[in-house]
Chains A and B, each alone.
Chain A
Amino acid sequence: MVNRTNGQSTHLKAVPKGEPAVLLTMAGISKSYPGVKALSDVGLQVRAGEILSLVGENGAGKSTMMKILAGAVKPDAGTISIDGKPVELSDTSVAHRMGISTIYQELMLVPHLSVVENLFLGNLVRNRWGLLDWKDMCARAVEIMRDLGYPGSIDVAIRDLSVAEQQLVEIGKAITRPCRLLIMDEPTAPLNREEVEHFFKIVRKLQKAGTSIIFITHHLNEIFEVCDRVVVLRDGQMVGESDVAHLSESQLVEMMLGRKLSLEKREWDRGVAPDADVVLEVDGLSTEELLKNVSFRLRKGEVLGLAGLMGSGRTEILRNIFGVDKPSAGTIRAEGKRAMFSGPRQALEGGIGLGPEDRKSDGLILSMPIRHNVTLSSLARYAGPLALRRGREVAAVKDLCQRLQVKYSSTEVPVGKLSGGNQQKVILARLLDAKVDIFLLDEPTRGIDVGAKGAIFDLIRQLAANGASVIIVSSVIEELVHVCDRIICLNLGRVTGEQARAQFDMAEIMINVMGGHSEAPQARVGDAR
């Protein structure tokens, strides 16, 4: 047991004094899936009113732990007890009754229903006639959402809300019923900085009200900012736990990785020769809704970062280049030739590939095997006169998976069974197999842990070293600074700054991304300290 020292930080003070009671204990939890041991003999304690961070690389077993607590997955072995009494979370409704609420990464809201309808979905309030008591529900909804700092109306449909607002609704949904333990899987991933800060305020408020929280995140700074305790999983085993106050970042990363590795600057500061061939020219790209006169060049062997928040136009730029969206003005040229593609197929034939932002819905066909997903864009190459050349296909897929270090038991495993990092590698494998020269990668490391991120960055550098050109979109500036030769900042559809690797300045990039210099964007281009 790790001792908790009283009064470590301000947000702990609200917890009742003395040794806090243990809310939930998991002991000896094991779970296997075909071919993979997801959890083996894991124990975990959650104390009343604490914020516990569950961290680990992809495939470490975090999601399985979460699903077990949510009652969605049954462990093969082990016991769970709440308040010292053993319980069986045989079903999600049982977990709800025990006061355990889970917020998944993919929000579980009904898009065309209103805020209040979503809040009470599955937990409808009835009056004494057995009819739905909307008056009561609306009153409670207003109160709950106000407490969560939601500014809008409770009658708005979910699909008209921003992701951050939708998340507040999810939290609201969890606390419409007595909630003793709230589990959240990467809640901050789609949020921008301000939204994250607001989110943390809410989390602390819940904590003060006595709710325990399990918080899964890949952002180290968030762990240190908001969590009391951290439990580290690796390869399905619990490899460490500690009070956050006694922990340094490097110690934590070391626990997660089991080896020393950090995202410090690497030895690729060579930069791209300024006279390298321009492979992609974007000139005056505009769309009706968002983009305004965006221009830039991409050189052979260059890794270019597009830094921007959601709604900055970063994704739209990639979609226009890839031919998914049509610009209202501007030209795109690839290798000196006009390259206004009419769709992904033409773009891929033109040597441009996209790794979409939402890899689960747009990037991969989750129910299909790794093999089918890797060769999706290059299937014509495997077509023989009579049949697809399966042997050749399997060999190519195996070769790519090995090169990218995809962890898999067979090329026939559905991609949906892989961890996020491995799924991303499958997308990269597909682009490699399609033999594209220009890689457009939209948030390639979203929801991926530090180790897998490092591997993906190494791979991107390797691609560039072999003459490919890469555009990366990310909202995590540290990552762009880590991997890019050049960074272009975007705000509300405009270019607000540009820096070459030698001049990288995170504060300046952040200011440009937040729109600090949007008044005079031209003045900032190339103007870095």
Chain B
Amino acid sequence: MKERLSINSNLVVLAVLLVVAGLASPYFWTIENIVNLIRVTSLIGIIAVGMNVVIISGGIDLSVGSVVALVGTLAASLATAGYPLGIVVLVPIAAALVAGLVNGSLVALLGFQPFVATLVTMTVFRGSGLVYSAGQPIYADYPAFIAFLARGTFGGVPAPAVLFFAIVLVTWYVMRFRAIGRMIYMVGANEKAAYYGGVSVWRVKLFTYVYCAALAGIAGLILTARMGSGEPGQAGVLYELDAIAAVVIGGTALQGGRGSVWGALVGALVIGVMSNLFNLLGVAPEWQNVSKGAVILAAVIMAGAGPFIGAIFARRASNG
């Protein structure tokens, strides 16, 4: 019930933003722009969905941006070296899974604070991509399938958006209907009690980090396909913050145990619309970050006020 209310208030934030955007730029509601908006949002959205899972379990993953870069670099170098499609897709994804296992092991088996563990791996993963490519971007002529990931459409809907929505649905199903999803919520809400109740806490945590890294890996493939290159140093920088912001705007509690994938979806859209609008208005990139911070803050405050807004609407509805 509470969850539903907070999603509603996020939807209010999103709706306000959409109206403002439409008023501020006549170009905003053009099909071309909306398609582009969805395409860009999907990238952060996919990462945010994974981040959401980790945060519900009571953790956090700062290394997602570095995983995006690492995966892109690997894919680009494999494609350039002429490996078949399967290798070009699967090896980078496998690398992402390993990255998730490393994060999960540091947190779940060795007991590091998630923040510290993934702060460390954030630099290590990015560093290893740079070492691998000797610090140089790798330009790749991707096979059609990978290019389709970034630029293709299904009946006008961009392929990344379709992928994003599929991931949202799968994650919703896992979190809502599978035992592992239940256990992720339980561990996030009270790790000690879950442990005493016989939940294998380390396995649950490991799962969340691997899941999150896998989604970051998929996002990495989409990004490198769109750019036509692997950028070990530039790709995915600060993505972790956008993803966390999307999750928080979506109403997921940073202390864990609460939240929904739909919130992350809305949160990602809020972030996406904002970036898009700034670009349309020609706001300088350095000012974009400043104003983005302000809008995120406002969105979080409004999301926090969700129950109040919800109550006001509920009262109106019952009066009317």
A345→B190 contact, CB < 8 A = no
B179, B185, B192, B258: the one contacting A380 at CB < 8 Å is: B179
A365, A367, A377: the one contacting B198 at CB < 8 Å is: A377
A363→B193 contact, CB < 8 A = yes
B193→A379 contact, CB < 8 A = no
A363→B196 contact, CB < 8 A = yes
B177, B182, B192, B257: the one contacting A361 at CB < 8 Å is: B192
- Segment of A107-115, A123-131, A282-290, A383-391 in the binding face: A383-391
Residues of B within 8 A of A383 (CB): 178-179
Q: Does B18 contact A (CB under 8 A)?
A: no
Q: Does A190 contact B (CB under 8 A)?
A: no
B192→A362 contact, CB < 8 A = yes
Residues of A within 8 A of B258 (CB): 367
A368→B199 contact, CB < 8 A = no
B193→A364 contact, CB < 8 A = yes
Q: Does A420 contact B (CB under 8 A)?
A: no
Residues of B within 8 A of A362 (CB): 192-193, 196
A440 CB to nearest chain B CB (Å): 11
Residues of A within 8 A of B183 (CB): 379
| Interface-central residue, B178, B179, B193, by most chain A CB under 10 Å | B193
Residues of B within 8 A of A387 (CB): 173, 177-178
For window 181-197 of B, CB contacts with A under 8 Å fall at 182-183, 185-186, 189-190, 192-197
A123 CB to nearest chain B CB (Å): 28
B179, B189, B190: the one contacting A388 at CB < 8 Å is: B179
Residues of B within 8 A of A382 (CB): 179
Q: List the A residue with the shortest CB-CB distance to B185.
A: A368
Residues of A within 8 A of B193 (CB): 361-365
For window 293-352 of A, CB contacts with B under 8 Å fall at 324, 343-345, 347-349
Residues of A within 8 A of B199 (CB): 345, 376
Q: Tell me whether A376 and B194 are in contact in the complex, defined as CB-CB below 8 angstroms, given that A367-B257, A368-B185, A368-B189 are known contacts.
A: yes
A365→B189 contact, CB < 8 A = yes
Q: Does A425 contact B (CB under 8 A)?
A: no
Q: Does B200 contact A (CB under 8 A)?
A: yes
B197 CB to nearest chain A CB (Å): 4
A344→B179 contact, CB < 8 A = no
A394 CB to nearest chain B CB (Å): 14
Report the contact-size class of chain A (Cβ under 8 Å from the partner).
20 to 34
B186→A376 contact, CB < 8 A = yes
Residues of B within 8 A of A343 (CB): 195
B149 CB to nearest chain A CB (Å): 28
Residues of B within 8 A of A379 (CB): 179, 182-183
B173, B178, B190: the one contacting A365 at CB < 8 Å is: B190
Residues of A within 8 A of B198 (CB): 344-345, 347-349, 376-377, 434
Q: List the B residue with the shortest CB-CB distance to A34.
A: B1
A349, A365, A366: the one contacting B194 at CB < 8 Å is: A365
> CA of A344 to CA of B185 in the docked complex: distance in angstroms?
19
A368→B186 contact, CB < 8 A = yes
A367→B194 contact, CB < 8 A = no
A388→B186 contact, CB < 8 A = no
Residues of B within 8 A of A354 (CB): 196
Residues of B within 8 A of A349 (CB): 198
Residues of B within 8 A of A345 (CB): 198-200
Q: Does A74 contact B (CB under 8 A)?
A: no
| Interface-central residue, B173, B178, B183, B197, by most chain A CB under 10 Å | B197
A372→B182 contact, CB < 8 A = yes
Residues of A within 8 A of B196 (CB): 324, 344, 354, 356, 362-363
Proximity string of chain B (88-105) to chain A, C-beta cutoff 8 Å, 1 when within and 0 when not: 000000000000000000
Q: Does A234 contact B (CB under 8 A)?
A: no
A365→B186 contact, CB < 8 A = yes
A70 CB to nearest chain B CB (Å): 23
> CA of A37 to CA of B295 in the docked complex: distance in angstroms?
42
Q: Does A486 contact B (CB under 8 A)?
A: no
> CA of A383 to CA of B189 in the docked complex: distance in angstroms?
21
Q: Does A430 contact B (CB under 8 A)?
A: yes
B197→A376 contact, CB < 8 A = yes
Proximity string of chain B (157-177) to chain A, C-beta cutoff 8 Å, 1 when within and 0 when not: 000000000000000010001
Proximity string of chain B (180-223) to chain A, C-beta cutoff 8 Å, 1 when within and 0 when not: 00110110011011111111100000000000000000000000
> CA of A366 to CA of B196 in the docked complex: distance in angstroms?
14
| Interface-central residue, A377, A380, A382, by most chain B CB under 10 Å | A377
> CA of A324 to CA of B197 in the docked complex: distance in angstroms?
11
Q: List the B residue with the shortest CB-CB distance to A359.
A: B193
> CA of A362 to CA of B192 in the docked complex: distance in angstroms?
6
> CA of A197 to CA of B190 in the docked complex: distance in angstroms?
36
B140 CB to nearest chain A CB (Å): 39
> CA of A34 to CA of B186 in the docked complex: distance in angstroms?
24
Residues of A within 8 A of B195 (CB): 343-344
Residues of A within 8 A of B179 (CB): 379-380, 382-383, 388
A189 CB to nearest chain B CB (Å): 20
Q: List the B residue with the shortest CB-CB distance to A379.
A: B179
> CA of A372 to CA of B179 in the docked complex: distance in angstroms?
11
Residues of A within 8 A of B257 (CB): 365, 367-368
In order of increasing CB-CB distance, the 6 nearest A-B pairs are A387-B177, A376-B197, A348-B198, A365-B190, A377-B198, A345-B198
**Can you pick out 11 interface pairs between chain A and chain B where the beta carbons lie within 8 Å of each other?**
A345-B198, A368-B189, A372-B185, A372-B186, A376-B198, A376-B199, A377-B198, A379-B183, A386-B177, A388-B178, A434-B198
Q: Which residues of A contact B (CB under 8 A)?
A: 324, 343-345, 347-349, 354, 356, 361-368, 372-373, 376-377, 379-380, 382-383, 386-388, 430, 434
Q: Which residues of B contact A (CB under 8 A)?
A: 173, 177-179, 182-183, 185-186, 189-190, 192-200, 257-258
Other 20 A-B pairs with CB < 8 A, given A354-B196, A376-B197: A344-B195, A345-B198, A345-B200, A347-B198, A356-B196, A361-B190, A363-B196, A364-B193, A365-B193, A366-B189, A367-B190, A368-B189, A368-B190, A368-B257, A376-B194, A377-B197, A377-B198, A380-B179, A386-B177, A387-B177
